[in-house]
Structure formats: structure tokens, C-alpha cells
Amino acid sequence: VDYRETSLEGFDGVLIPGGFSFGDYLRSGAMASVAPVIDEVKRLASEGKPVLGVCNGFQILTEIGLLPGALLHNDSHLFISRNETLKIVNNQTPFTNLYENNDLVVYPVAHGEGHYYCTDDIYEELVTNNQIILTYQDNPNGSYKDIAGIVNKEGNVCGMMPHPERALETILGTDSGVKLF
């Protein structure tokens, strides 16, 4: 779908992929957040349809207010590209329901602004509402409380920095992402 699209009528869900939208000028996801298609993404989310944002997609979902928090520069100020071990901490979502809680998965990460940040109050809400779905086992970017992925309160909007779509074949290093799709 082109960013200029103004209708997503007939869509059953949305995947916002990674990829440095609009060159990540200003900050990650900032320019994408005002693209015409965003109103339709918000509409689908409000209707309870699944919306998944991976990497830059997660950054966009926080920019448009569908998910709380923000993504900041990695603590190292370096671009990180490697496989990371993650723990499934909530399998009661449409995105994680084929996993068991505490399953360890390996997904690639590739980002320079992947440090998830939120206030202590928002963190408490995330915990209370069971919105944290993935945590890093060896936090690569300084994410608050090792958070790698979250969902909204309703559970239909999900954002994560790791790339499950790049974890579908063992020949590529891992197939841990298959169950997410």
C-alpha cells in the first residue's frame, strides 16, 4: 500500500514493516506519522483489527499514539545488526498465541533507534495490563526493563523492534518467527 493511500477498506489487518521510512529524517517514524494512510491504520486499529509494527513500524506506532512510549537512540549510539534471544512473556495475544509463556526465541535486530523508553507510570500500566509481550535476554540497546515488544490494552496493536519476518528459515539462522505469522 502506498503511503498516500486514503482507504484501507476491505483490509483485515496491517503490517507496518521496518525500513527507515522517509529516511528517518527528524526522528524515526516522525514523517511517516503524518502520511495520509495513517488515519486508515488508526481506523482499523479502533475496529479491533490486527496491526503489527516491526522495527520502524513500531517507531511509527508510538509516534501516532497507538502504542505508549518512544524509541530512542541505542545507548551505544551504534547501529546494531545481529540475532537476539528474546523471551515470550505474554502469549495471550493474536501475535504470540502459538508460543508458550517463557519460550525463548531468536529474532534478528537491525536498528540504531531501538531503545524503548517509557515513564515509570506507563511501565506500571504495561505490567498491570499484561501489555509487554517480548523482553530481551541480553538487552542490546538499553531498552527500559529489557522491553522488546508491547501491545495496546486491547491486544490488537503490536509493536516490536526485533524482526520475526527475518526468522522464518533455519537456513537463515532461525525459524523462531514462524509461529508469529
Looking at the annotation, which residues are catalytic? 55, 163, 165
Concatenating the DSSP letter of every residue in 89-150 gives ----STTTTTSPTT-EEEEEEEESS-EEE--HHHHHHHHHTT-EEEEESS-SS--GGGEEEE
Distance CA 164, CA 137 (A): 16
- Three-state SS at 75: coil
Distance (Å) of CA 64 to CA 41, 60, 72, 152: 10, 6, 15, 13
Cell of 48: 479491533
Contacts of 12 (CB under 8 A, 6+ apart): 49, 50
